[in-house]
Chain A
Amino acid sequence: EDKVVQSPLSLVVHEGDTVTLNCSYEVTNFRSLLWYKQEKKAPTFLFMLTSSGIEKKSGRLSSILDKKELFSILNITATQTGDSAVYLCAVGTSMNYGGSQGNLIFGKGTKLSVKP
């Protein structure tokens, strides 16, 4: 059964700290790994990763994928209270190689709380 596991489940830090969120996966026919930030209802897209070792960066956030060890990390440097949210990792799969059928499987998320 395909699965995505995120750790830690929750994390409390102070402003200015650097955090690393983890996402490991076991899926057949991997296609992509995506990170989202969810504050209220709708998850907002952060990054999509398809290749190992290539860092994606946006401001204080960065992410990298290791397809050999089957995990990804999301780093947030110099955290701010506005970074408080649930961070979701999702893995895109296909039912067969190159096929159009598949799924986006989500982990349970990491709840990040940044204290002033």
Chain B
Amino acid sequence: GAGVSQSPSNKVTEKGKDVELRCDPISGHTALYWYRQSLGQGLEFLIYFQGNSAPDKSGLPSDRFSAERTGGSVSTLTIQRTQQEDSAVYLCASSLWATNTEAFFGQGTRLTVV
């Protein structure tokens, strides 16, 4: 596609439910990042995929968070048993190759846990 696409753009869920957030990177981009941004805060790194290499999961805040990337393209971030502190904007970015090429962001998913 022309840009990074994320869905849904907004998600309201009840505490304790599972949610799935989707990211469609720019076609041909091998690197994909997930970040979380709470209100008024900076970007918190969650996970990084690069090609077929094992992902860097060092930023995932707990075992309730997981992500996969199928076929080296679309990625899904799953949050199980959501809690109110999970409320944030979840941003996905992709770049052509690794961390020495420009990364472009999607519009994000605003998650609200009530």
Give CA–CA (A50, B100) in the complex, Å.
8
Report the interface size for chain B: residues with CB under 8 A from the other chain: 28
Chain A window 91-116, contacts with chain B (Cβ cutoff 8 Å), 1 for yes, 0 for no: 01111000011111111110000000
Q: A103-B56, A108-B41 are in contact. Are A41 and B99 (CB under 8 A)?
A: no
Q: A41-B107, A42-B107, A101-B56 are in contact. Are A31 and B102 (CB under 8 A)?
A: no
Q: Is A48 an interface residue (CB 8 A)?
A: yes
Q: What total of A-B pairs shows CB separation below 8 Å?
A: 77
Q: Is A44 an interface residue (CB 8 A)?
A: yes
Q: How far is the CB of B24 from chain A (nearest CB, A)?
A: 14
- A94: chain B residues within 8 A (beta carbon): 98-100
Report the interface size for chain A: residues with CB under 8 A from the other chain: 27
Q: Is B111 an interface residue (CB 8 A)?
A: no
Chain B window 49-91, contacts with chain A (Cβ cutoff 8 Å), 1 for yes, 0 for no: 0110100101000000000000000000000000000000101
Question: A41 and B50: CB pair below 8 A?
Answer: no
Q: When the two chains form the complex, which single residue of A48, A88, A102, A106 contacts B102, counting CB atoms closer than 8 Å?
A: A48
Q: When the two chains form the complex, which single residue of B42, B51, B110 contacts A100, counting CB atoms closer than 8 Å?
A: B51
Q: How far is the CB of B41 from chain A (nearest CB, A)?
A: 7
Q: How far is the CB of A9 from chain B (nearest CB, A)?
A: 10
Q: When the two chains form the complex, which single residue of B42, B107, B108 contacts A109, counting CB atoms closer than 8 Å?
A: B42
Closest to B9 in A: A41
Question: B103 and A100: CB pair below 8 A?
Answer: no
Closest to B108 in A: A41
Q: Is B12 an interface residue (CB 8 A)?
A: no
Closest to B105 in A: A42
Q: Is B21 an interface residue (CB 8 A)?
A: no
Q: When the two chains form the complex, which single residue of B41, B93, B99, B107 contacts A93, counting CB atoms closer than 8 Å?
A: B99
Give CA–CA (A85, B58) in the complex, Å.
29
A-contacting residues of B (Cβ < 8 Å)? Answer: 33, 35, 41-43, 45, 48, 50-51, 53, 56, 58, 89, 91, 93, 97-108, 110
Can you list 6 A-B pairs with a CB-CB distance of less than 8 A?
Answer: A32-B99, A32-B101, A45-B102, A88-B42, A92-B98, A104-B45
